[in-house]
């Protein structure tokens, strides 16, 4: 929430908001899709490990 006002308690409805004028650096701006690609690679590795694991039969 950048700003708020109450239209019912004041006679004059004016809203003042403070917003950044310059860009804010986020984690995504720094690393991009690297985290998503790392998750996809980890999923592929885990799937290969699960497929290659020896199967034991329980009785």
- pLDDT for the residue 41: 98
- pLDDT for the residue 49: 94
Domain boundaries, the chain: 24-54
pLDDT in tens, 2-51: 666 666 766 666 667 777 778 778 888 889 999 999 999 999 999 999 99
In 19-53, which positions are buried (b, 16+ CB within 10 angstroms) versus exposed (e)? eeeeeeeeeeeeeeeeeeeeeeeeeeeeeeeeeee
pTM: 0.51
- pLDDT for the residue 26: 84
């Amino acid at each position: 929430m950048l700003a708020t006002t109450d239209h019912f308690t004041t006679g004059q409805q004016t809203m003042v908001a403070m917003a950044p004028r310059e860009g804010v650096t986020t984690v995504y701006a720094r690393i991009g899709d690297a985290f998503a690609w790392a998750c996809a690679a980890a999923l592929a590795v885990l799937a290969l490990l699960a497929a290659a694991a020896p199967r034991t039969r329980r009785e």
